[in-house]
Structure 1
Amino acid sequence: MTTDPDDSEPGPDSVMPARVQSVDRALRLLEVVAATAPRGETVTTLAARCEINRATAWRLLGTLEARGLVERDPNTNRYRIGLAMIRMSASAGYDGLVRRTRHVLERVSEQTGETADLAVVGRHGVTYVGEVAPPSVMAINWVAREVPLHATSTGKAFLAWLPPDEARGLLDLPLPRYTDTTVTDPDVLMAELDGIREQGYAECAGELEPALYGVSAPILTVDARPLGVFSIWGPVSRVPVTRFAELGPIAVEAAAEVRTALQG
């Protein structure tokens, strides 16, 4: 029986190659497919974004689809993340992500004297996975809670960096009113998202809970889509609207630091 040299184990002095091109391309395709969620994208667009030819992308996507890592919508021919990838992600949990970014949460909470939160993007919205509050502050714990997109700075920071039609499609109409300041008109909200993108961070002045104010900045992928959101919030007595201009840039810087930590 002959042994395929490609199947042999490397010796202790062997030098492993830096990367396998086909695997590298497949993983890059997965990253871009994930970045286009929940709408997905066609093979032509995915190939262009990954800078590979369409035939290669089609073969790689076919292999990924056979393993359940991506799925193709037969009506639109758009590829989205498959159930196998979702199961693997769920099994990993968020513990590793929170560990790698907790130092940022702790530093920002100490710097501002307020609560710092990390939220991740899911199929239909954002969910808090990490939080650090000042020791002397009795704060509501938001971890594991999914928040309404239109009534929080976290949700608006997520929506603002999506294509407008995709953002509008995620809104649960009619928009419920939680407080006197909740925006319930979709057109008014969409106009607000334009200003949020220009400013770089979102604000919330008691739109979900009357006494809770805060700011949030998106954690963006290489394709400038929201992967998560970094938030700073507190009671209106400590986080009035006049502090938003101070806290907003801190949230933007922290979001960029989290992105770097996740890439490391």
Structure 2
Amino acid sequence: MAEGSERDVIASIERGFAVLLAFDADLPAPSLAEVATKTGLSRPAVRRILLTLQKLGYVNASGSRWSLTPRVLTIGQHYAASHAISEVAQPHLLRLAELTHESASLSQLDGTGVVYVARVHVRRVMSLNVDIGSRVPVHATSMGRVLVAWADASVIEQVIEDGLPALTPTTVTDPVAFRDALHEVRQQGFALVDGELEPGFLSAAAPVRNPAGDVVAALAYSTSRGRTDVQHVLDDVVPHLLDVAASIQRDLAVVTTGRRTLAPGARDGFF
């Protein structure tokens, strides 16, 4: 179906999601007034939405404070159940984490942002605390550059139009330099970003493609300068990253097409 116009948008649903998204680490249990301030909605409108969400089981009230219930997690569960890649990737993420002794992640593009859809923790990476559902910027992450490098030109234009803020002194903020970085990713087949999201934060990512050849996710490795360096990542980690990404692609092809695809020279069965 073609995209609808503005008149096809149901404003009440839009406002309902705005209220749900108002709950975060800064406001885990906001008051009605705080939700109204954060969303820009009137207090009567926020009250009706909160009462509706309470009836549906997504929020609880305690005095004048509101909080999310565990039922909210089922929304993410429905995503995982309807997108095979998260389940397919999980054992491969574990394998990458075991090979590299660092955290492994899978992410997808959401508009002009990057969202974690699967992750295996090995240890906390510096002060960057991420989990499934966390969002990170496109321009300053290896995952983002992989996802955007093969995206439509309109996506790249929108990322640049949204701005390339300097998160550290080394963040690429110049549109020309950003385009050059994406070209380099396409040329070498992976991305490596050093200290652009956080000082000392080092990451590499490889594309994961669907059977049609489209990049549908990014597989990433992350660590810190205190534990390794760029050369080690290039020499020892990137080969594992590319190999595991290829394994995810093969399993994804089986799930989505029902056909098993073996790597050249591989043997099927137990030999």
Compute the TM-score of the two structures, normalised by the length of structure 2: 0.60
1:249 corresponds to: 239
Matched residues, number? 179
Aligned with 1:182: secondary structure?
Answer: coil
Aligned with 2:136: secondary structure?
Answer: coil
CA distance 1:120–1:174, change in 2 (3 Å): closer
CA distance in 2, matches of 1:184, 1:123: 19
Q: 2:80 aligns with which of 94, 109, 113?
A: 94
CA distance 1:202–1:176, change in 2 (3 Å): same
1:71 and 2:2 are equivalent in the alignment: yes
2:99 corresponds to: 111
Aligned with 1:143: secondary structure?
Answer: coil
Aligned with 1:263: secondary structure?
Answer: helix
| 1:119/1:130 contact within 8 Å kept | yes
Paired residue type of 1:108: L
Matches within 5 A, 1:186-201: 186-201=175-190
Q: 1:262 aligns with which of 252, 255, 262?
A: 252
Deviation for aligned residue 1:73:
7.2
Q: Which blocks of at least 5 consecutive residues in structure 1 are unaligned?
A: 1-69, 75-88
Percent identity between the two aligned chains: 27
User: 1:70-113, CA deviations, whole angstroms, 9 ceiling, x for partnerless residues?
Assistant: 22579xxxxxxxxxxxxxx9773125543322110111101011
Q: Which blocks of at least 5 consecutive residues in structure 2 are unaligned?
A: 6-74, 255-271
| 2:99/2:240 contact within 8 Å kept | no
CA distance 1:153–1:256, change in 2 (3 Å): same
CA distance in 2, matches of 1:163, 1:195: 16
User: 1:148-196, CA deviations, whole angstroms, 9 ceiling, x for partnerless residues?
Assistant: 1100001001111124443222334331100011000011110111111
Q: 1:177 aligns with which of 166, 172, 194?
A: 166
Paired residue type of 1:218: P
1:19 corresponds to: none
| 1:212/1:236 contact within 8 Å kept | yes
Paired residue type of 1:98: S
Matches within 5 A, 1:110-129: 110-129=98-117
CA distance in 1, matches of 2:157, 2:136: 16
CA distance in 2, matches of 1:262, 1:221: 7
Paired residue type of 1:92: H
CA distance in 2, matches of 1:171, 1:252: 28
2:54 corresponds to: none
CA distance 1:169–1:223, change in 2 (3 Å): farther
CA distance 1:256–1:90, change in 2 (3 Å): same
1:138 corresponds to: 124
RMSD: 2.3
Aligned with 2:2: secondary structure?
Answer: strand
CA distance in 2, matches of 1:239, 1:172: 34
| 1:131/1:142 contact within 8 Å kept | yes
2:141 corresponds to: 152
